[in-house]
Amino acid sequence: MALMTEKLRAIMALDPDRTEIDFEGIDYSWRRIAATVRAIEDALAAMGLPEDARVGVMLRNRPGHVAAIIAVLSTDRCLVTLNPVLPEARLIADAEGLGLPVVIADATDLARPGVIEALDRAGSAVVEIGPRLEGMRVIQGSVHAAVQTSPGVAIEMLTSGTTGAPKRVPLSRDSFDASFRGFTRYERGRSFDDPPKLNSGCTMIVNPLTHIGGIYGCIGALAAGRKIALLEKFSVEDWVSAVKRNRPAVAPAVPSAVRMLLDADVDPADLSSLRSIISGTAPLSPDLVDAFLAKYDVPICGNYGATEFAGAIAGWTIDDFRARWAEKRGAVGRVHADIEARVVDPETGAPLPSGDEGLLELKGKQLGNDLQWLRTTDRAVLDADRFLFIRGRADNAIIRGGFKIHPDDVVLALNDHPAVRESAVVGIADERLGSVPAAAIILKDGAAEPAESDLKAWLKERLIAYQVPVHIRIVPDFPRTPSMKPSAPGLRALFEGAE
């Protein structure tokens, strides 16, 4: 049994009347959560599902779905995430193709056209949960699909699908234990080996539970015995309201959300409880960090991780930020103590000296690959103090007539324009050059729309000529993945037929 599993079981029993989840301004106690957890566990047991059996959950950021996570993980079964935000055709194809013995979902998703029928064709039993812990009932109680197991796997996690079709990554219980052990070192006075206990404070969960950042934060808060402020999705109003209501010391916000908070000119008094903001999932501009710090005196502690890593492997502590941000500005933080990291030559694989740019390779127990070096697709610099600088991805490079363009380099330049709130760059097919860069831009509130020719002239002063986007679109927002990253396939679709 994994240590994480033991913690989840023990924490639930400590104080049934303690509030564990705040959702839409309503408090949910451990007693209410545990009742739903037990009902789900009893339903799975009645179906004869053994330990390690794969159980699908259509995850939304709602209290009933947190109970489903606990029910699956605390019985050492394997949680297979399904993303109900997907269009119905894709959700149905995914659910039917998996052939899971049972799928847990709430009524809003089971009522979508074709979903129940797809699960019936797949031979899946169906458990309906109340999104706000209203109850649980078995819709289809017979398991007709083969009972598949994933020994030692805690979660089969969908990636965010930023650069292409999402894929499912198996994350072991040992990987999660190792990941949380490393992350807990960032909290003063806490060890992952501490006996289970209820802690003060509050963890805000804003990222979707279908994304590693969301479910990682949720499981971490549950195992730490810390209250959860659960938001179904980000909006400035809801985020600020949750901070004012729960007064967390730390709150999460992806870079695009930080920009929205700045643009909304939030009253500093509303954020007075915050000692820091945690930001991941997308590149974080150091200028954005500086602007937020200047306005609110709240550090934005970035981190770096991935679904395949079972969470973060590097990040900023508040102490490191206050002491070393000026010196290490732009870093994603310091590599965790239990992770080995190196930068290698992309062509030869030879390790490079500290301070040289190359491809990042990692080694650690949480990576779940028998302590082998794992080569990422990220261009990186690792300095002598183990601070990590991510320069962009190597695998989404745009080759324009033989010249290589890294979209992140273009995004950094575009985001410096005084009218630009956020930008995203992708490569699109070009008959003559093979591929050319195209940029989608969100303007700051109240900013006048610059002419495309003026934008290109401005960029030519800051970029090599071949890096300047051939196509530029001003948009109200980007097509995004559930984790609020710009979706590369969606962005390319904006430019279909562009000449």
More confident position, 2 or 151: 151
* Mean pLDDT across 18-33: 93
Q: What is the pLDDT of residues 426-466, one digit of tens each?
A: 999 888 788 899 999 999 989 999 999 999 999 998 998 88
Residue 38 lies in a domain: yes
**One domain for residues 140 and 279:** no
- How confident is the model over 290-317, as a mean pLDDT? 92
Does the pLDDT value for residue 326 go beyond 60? yes
For the residues 470-487, what does the mean pLDDT come to?
Answer: 88
Residue 142 pLDDT > 90: no
Residue 487 has pLDDT above 50, yes or no: yes
Final residue belonging to a domain, choices 157, 173, 189: 173
CB–CB of 228/22 below 8 Å?
Answer: yes
Higher pLDDT, 72 or 281: 72
Q: Which of 325, 360, 393 is the last residue of a domain?
A: 393
- On whether both 301 and 367 belong to a single domain, the answer is yes
| 245 and 322 belong to one structural domain | yes
**Alpha carbon of 99 to those of 95, 140, 211, 295, 304: distances in Å?**
7, 14, 22, 51, 34
**How far apart (Å, rounded) are the C-alpha atoms in residues 66 and 32?**
12
Residue 157: pLDDT above 60? yes
- Structural domain includes residue 376: yes
The closest alpha carbon to 490, from 443, 434, 424, 405, belongs to 424
What pLDDT sits at residue 369?
84
> Phi then psi for 156, rounded to 5 degrees?
-100, 105
Task: Tell me the CATH number at 311.
Answer: 3.40.50.12780
pTM of the model: 0.80
CB 77 within 8 A of CB 55: yes
Question: Residue 57 belongs to a domain with what CATH number?
Answer: 3.40.50.980
Q: Is residue 197 part of a domain?
A: no
If asked whether residues 99 and 161 sit together in one domain, one would say yes
Residues 349 and 436 reside in one and the same domain: no
- pLDDT at site 139: 87
Do 296 and 268 touch, CB atoms closer than 8 A? yes
> Has residue 209 got a pLDDT over 60?
yes
Count CA atoms within 13 Å of residue 89 on its CB side: 0
- Considering the chain, what is the average pLDDT of its residues? 89
Same domain for 310 and 407? no
CB count within 10 Å of CB 400 equals 19
pLDDT at residue 350 above 50? yes
In a domain, 182, yes or no: no
Reply yes or no on whether the pLDDT at 80 is more than 70.
yes
Residue 472: pLDDT band by 50, 70, 90 thresholds? Answer: very high
Residue 252 makes CB contacts below 8 A (sequence gap 6+) with 204, 205, 206, 207, 213, 217, 277, 278, 279, 280
Lowest-pLDDT range of 166-180, 186-200, 330-344, 347-361: 186-200
**Are 366 and 405 contained in the same domain?**
no
Is 229 inside any structural domain? Answer: no
- Digit-coded pLDDT (tens) for 274-291: 999 999 877 788 989 999
Over range 31-57, report the average pLDDT.
Answer: 94
How far is residue 354 CA from its own chain's centroid? 29
pLDDT for 163: 46
pLDDT for the residue numbered 1: 44
The 3-state secondary structure of the chain reads CCHHHHHHHHHHCCCCCCEEEEECCEEEEHHHHHHHHHHHHHHHHHCCCCCCEEEEEECCCCHHHHHHHHHHHCCCCEEEEECCCCCHHHHHHHHHHHCCCEEEEEHHHHCCCCHHHHHHHHCCEEEEECCCCCCEEEEECCCCCCCCECCCEEEEEECCCCCCCCCEEEEEHHHHHHHHHHHHCCCCCCCCCCCCCCCCCEEEECCCCCCHHHHHHHHHHHHHCCEEEECCCCCHHHHHHHHHHHCCCEEECCHHHHHHHHHCCCCHHHHCCCCEEEECCCCCCHHHHHHHHHHHCCCEEEEEEEHHHCEEEEECCHHHHHHHHHHHCCCCEEECCCCEEEEECCCCCCECCCCCEEEEEEECHHHCCCCCCEEEEEEEEECCCCEEEEEEECCCCEEECCEEECHHHHHHHHHCCCCEEEEEEEEEEECCCEEEEEEEEEECCCCCCCCHHHHHHHHHCCCCHHHCCCEEEECCCCCECCCCCECHHHHHHHCCCCC
Residues 423 and 384 in one domain: no
What pLDDT, on a 0 to 100 scale, did the predictor assign at position 191?
Answer: 63
The verdict on 455 and 430 lying in the same domain is: yes
- The answer on pLDDT for 164 being more than 60 is no
Examine the fold and report which residue of 345, 378, 393 is the final residue of a domain before the chain moves on.
393
Q: How would residue 183 be classed by pLDDT, with cut points 50, 70 and 90? A: low
Q: Can you tell me the mean pLDDT for 15-34?
A: 92
Sheet containing 374-382: order of strands:
250-252, 276-279, 300-306, 311-315, 333-335, 387-393, 374-382, 357-363, 340-344
Total domain count, the chain? 3
Pair 411, 439 in one domain? yes
196 found inside a domain: no
The percentage of the chain sitting over the pLDDT mark of 70, rounded to a whole number, equals: 94
Instruction: Return the CATH number at 409.
Output: 3.30.300.30
352 domain-assigned: yes
**Is 141 found in the same domain as 15?**
yes
Residue 178, domain member (yes or no): no
What is the residue range of 473's domain? 398-494
Of 203, 197, 202, which is closest to residue 215 (Cα–Cα)? 203
The stretch 210-229 carries a mean pLDDT of 88
Q: Is the pLDDT of residue 109 over 80?
A: yes
What is the pLDDT at residue 110?
Answer: 95
- Give the per-residue pLDDT at 330: 93
pLDDT for 166? 58
Distance (Å, rounded) from C-alpha 439 to C-alpha 423?
Answer: 7
Burial class (CB in 10 A: 0-12, 13-18, 19+), 323: exposed
* β-sheet with 136-140: strand ranges across: 136-140, 125-129, 102-106, 54-58, 78-82, 153-158, 168-172
Over residues 100-121, the mean pLDDT reads 94
Residues 389 and 483 occupy one common structural domain: no
